[in-house]
Amino acid sequence: MNPIDAALPVTHIPSSEIVGVGIDCEACPRFLELNETELARIYSSRERDHEKGSVRHHEHLAGKFAAKEAVIKALSAIAPLEPASIEILNDPRGRPFVVLPPELGLHYGVLVSVSHTSDIAMACALAFKK
Ligand SMILES: CC(C)(COP(=O)(O)OP(=O)(O)OC[C@H]1O[C@@H](n2cnc3c(N)ncnc32)[C@H](O)[C@@H]1OP(=O)(O)O)[C@@H](O)C(=O)NCCC(=O)NCCS
């Protein structure tokens, strides 16, 4: 194998399994302004529990919103989705993972990565068929 192919792990994923990619960025300060009703409309209680009490809580929420939007884009060829129907949770090591609506999650999965600063949160997503 040539060195470029060896450095590209994506070449080892069967392309027929990948159904879409998505990316999104959000302005973090906007998430400081959301009231309880708006928060409850977008996030599950499990999502809101992540880093609750942190002065950077709005950044975490902005990251999760960016991840939801990235997931929506990645699955746009499969099904229309609303942000509230997608959960972005964190495993014990902090890694984000996606919980899809059950009927969709049975057949598809999405990998996400999230990053945020005080200004901007961004996320990318890779959707695949199980
Ligand atoms: C975890 C780490 C990658 C975060 O990077 P960072 O530059 O500080 O912060 P970023 O804003 O770019 O990314 C933060 C996001 O990374 C994600 N993240 C956290 N831990 C992660 C991990 N182990 N793997 C992948 N993504 C991770 C989360 O989504 C987090 O945002 P959230 O808490 O709001 O969901 C970085 O702190 C690191 O490399 N730590 C050392 C090694 C490590 O894995 N530590 C975990 C302790 S078990």
Report how far ligand 1's centroid is from the alpha carbon of 40 (Å): 25
Residue 121 CA to residue 113 CA, distance in Å, equals 11
Report pLDDT for 11.
47
Mutate to test the pocket of ligand 1, among 24, 28, 95, 126 (most ligand atoms within 8 A of CB): 95
> How many residues belong to the chain?
130
| DSSP 8-state secondary structure symbol assigned to residue 92 | T
Binding-site residues, ligand 1, Cβ < 6 A: 60, 63, 90, 93-96, 114-116
Q: How does pLDDT run across 63-85, given as a tens digit for each residue?
A: 999 999 999 999 999 999 999 99
Report pLDDT for 1.
53
pLDDT, averaged across the chain: 91
- Residue 82 CA to chain centroid, in angstroms? 13
Domain boundaries, the chain: 3-10+18-129
Report pLDDT for 38.
97
The Cα-based distances of 105 to 86, 111, 129 in angstroms read 10, 12, 9
Report how far ligand 1's centroid is from the alpha carbon of 108 (Å): 25
Tell if the pTM clears 0.85, that is, is over it. yes
Architecture of domain 3-10+18-129: Alpha-Beta Complex (3.90)
- In this prediction, residues 80-109 reach a mean pLDDT of 96
Q: Which residues contact 7 (CB under 8 A, 6 or more apart)?
A: none
Q: How does pLDDT run across 2-43, given as a tens digit for each residue?
A: 555 555 455 445 556 999 999 999 999 999 999 999 999 999
Report how far ligand 1's centroid is from the alpha carbon of 72 (Å): 22
